[in-house]
Amino acid sequence: MWQPKMSLNRRRFLATTALGAAAAATGSLAMTSVLLAQGAAVKLGVLHPVTGALSYSGQQGRLGATMAIADINAAGGIKSLRGTKIDAILGDAQSTPQGGTAEVEKMNAAGAAGIVGGYASSICLAVSQAAARYNLPYVVDVGVADSIVKRGLKNTFRFGPGFGVIAKTALDNLVAINDQAGKPAKTVIIVHEDSLFGSGLAKLLNAQLPAKGFQILDTIAHPTPTRDFSTIVLKIKARNPDLVIPANYYNEYVLLARTMREQHVRLKGIYSVLGGAASSYKFVHDFPEAARYIMDCNHWFNPHSEKALALKKKVEAGGHYFTYEVYMNYSAVELIADAFERAASTDRDKVIAALASSTFSGHIMPYGPTKFVDGQNQGAAPVNTQVLDNDIKVVMPPQFANAKPVFPMPA
């Protein structure tokens, strides 16, 4: 087709883009209300690292978010908006912060009423900042770095617990479990991956464990990926600790646990904090022997919630594992849908206000009452799990527990 040639000089460029931006700003708001009045969908950005190094977690996260959207739509959509359905705008952060930022731009341009996801702390940090520029409500699904909610961004909310709360709970519960058993564990070796997550945790444990009566025999860092754990396990055997505390990602966690079993390492317990595989049904299914009695302080669902168990069944029926990414994203979507419901609008200010004042209940997480302070849900907390009878049981805190901890682990 013939088109007239147009030269694009600076003046024309500025004029057209300025006009376009103004039209988009006013037009998109007007459009939103017109479309909503017609019962068009509420657009929700679902942003995860579905390719690249974090792709497994990202894909699991997307699964949880899209299942929540499907369930909400099947139950009649957003009722205060005359049953408007939620429409997912799927985004791929490509496992990088800049990938996440680029998706925020696209989602904003597509008229998203909010964004859910991020997964990794680094991506959440970038996404929250990019979304804040557009006053776009953002619910963090997993990212545990405390700084995500400590930068005064009004648009950012985290339903799950942050690193500080997780580490404190992990230490308190370790002391409680050890005390209940008559303090059998006195010495510890920490095995951690050497990036921000593992090193930060190791530093915190080194600072706090001695004060709680534990002697740290060694702190062993390793890179990700690590191909072989034989040398690390040799060191562990040589020092013969009561407890090993691993802080690493799934693959390395599995290799470490397998090598410890292969080398017949005898311990009183393996206690992880946000352990890569410790609270993973896949690990328990694939290596029941190596996984037995491993304890973990991590994100988990409420095992007494009928809704959680029904969701687990549904996820497993689809051939997927019920990992924390799934139920944390499911909950994050439910939280923002509840905000749409109470705001009775997709106006960004109103949705942010509804999130800030949220007392969202009826969710599937083992949390206290929902109350947001500076974007952080004060009720959020991790639980302690243990691999018992080829299953993962909650052993702490008592109100959510469905088993008692077995410690020290039987030889």
Q: Which residues pair with 245 in a beta bridge?
A: 190
> Interface with another protein includes 142 (CB under 8 A)?
no
Distance CA 55, CA 87 (A): 22
How far apart are CB 259 and another protein at their closest, in Å? 8
Q: Which of residues 18-77 bind another protein (CB under 8 A)?
A: 51, 53, 55-56, 58-59
* CB of 187 closer than 8 Å to CB of 157: no
Choosing from 6, 8, 207, 238, the residue that interacts with another protein (CB under 8 A) is 238
Please give the Cα distance from 133 to 112 (Å, whole number).
14
For the chain, the C-alpha Rg in angstroms (whole number) is 23
Mode of pairing for the β-strands spanning 243-247 and 269-273: parallel
The closest alpha carbon to 323, from 184, 80, 152, 142, belongs to 142
CB of 141 to another protein, least distance (A): 17
Residue with tokens 């057209």: 16
User: How far apart are CB 210 and another protein at their closest, in Å?
Assistant: 21
Residue 187 or 251 having the CB closest to another protein: 251
CA distance 219 to 194: 11
Residue of 33, 263, 359, 361 that binds another protein (CB under 8 A): 263
226 contributes a contact to another protein by CB under 8 A:
yes
In 110-220, which ranges are continuous DSSP H helix?
Answer: 121-133, 163-180, 196-208
Cβ nearer to another protein, comparing 100 with 303: 100
Among 139, 232, 343, 364, indicate the residue that binds another protein (CB under 8 A).
Answer: 232
| Least gap, CB of 282 to another protein (angstroms) | 8
How far, in Å, CA of 267 to CA of 273, rounded?
17
At a CB cut-off of 8 Å and minimum separation 6, what does 394 contact?
Answer: 300, 303, 366, 383, 384, 385, 400, 401, 402, 403
**Helix, strand or coil, per DSSP, at residue 233:** helix
* β-strand pairing of 215-222 with 243-247: unpaired
Task: Find how far residue 2's CA is from the centre of its chain.
Answer: 52
Stretch of 9-17, 261-269, 357-365, 401-409 contacting another protein, by CB under 8 A: 261-269
Nearer to another protein, 39 or 223 (CB): 223
Q: How far apart are CA 337 and CA 265, in angstroms?
A: 49
Q: Which is nearer to another protein, 43 or 48 (CB)?
A: 48
Task: From 70, 77, 115, 52, select the one nearest 318 (Cα to Cα).
Answer: 70
Among 5, 10, 11, 227, binds another protein (CB under 8 A): 227
Binding to another protein by CB under 8 A, coded x per residue (else -) over 360-379, reads --------------------
Q: Is 293 in the site for another protein (CB under 8 A)?
A: no
Instruction: Give dist(CA 149, CA 410) in Å, integer.
Output: 42
254 binds another protein (CB under 8 A): yes
Give the nearer residue to another protein in terms of CB position, either 20 or 52: 52
Distance CA 43, CA 312 (A): 26
CB closer to another protein out of 325 and 334: 325
Q: Which of 230, 240, 357, 359 binds another protein (CB under 8 A)?
A: 230
Q: Total residues at the site for another protein (CB under 8 A)? A: 34
Binding test (CB under 8 A) with another protein, winner from 182, 289, 318, 398: 289
Judging by DSSP bridges, how do beta strands 295-298 and 383-388 pair with one another?
antiparallel
Is residue 255 at the binding interface for another protein, with CB under 8 A as the rule?
Answer: yes
Q: Is 194 in the site for another protein (CB under 8 A)?
A: yes
Could you tell me which of 405, 390, 130 has the C-alpha nearest to residue 284?
A: 390
> Which of residues 105, 179, 262, 389 is near another protein by CB under 8 A?
262
248 is a site residue for another protein (CB under 8 A): no
Smallest separation, CB 290 to another protein (Å): 8
Kindly give, in sequence order, each residue whose CB lies less than 8 Å from that of residue 217, ignoring residues fewer than 6 positions away. 187, 188, 189, 239, 241
Minimum Å gap between C-beta 69 and another protein is 20
- Could you list the residues that contact another protein (CB under 8 A)? 51, 53, 55-56, 58-59, 194, 220-223, 225-228, 230-232, 234-235, 238, 250-251, 254-255, 258, 261-264, 282, 286-287, 289
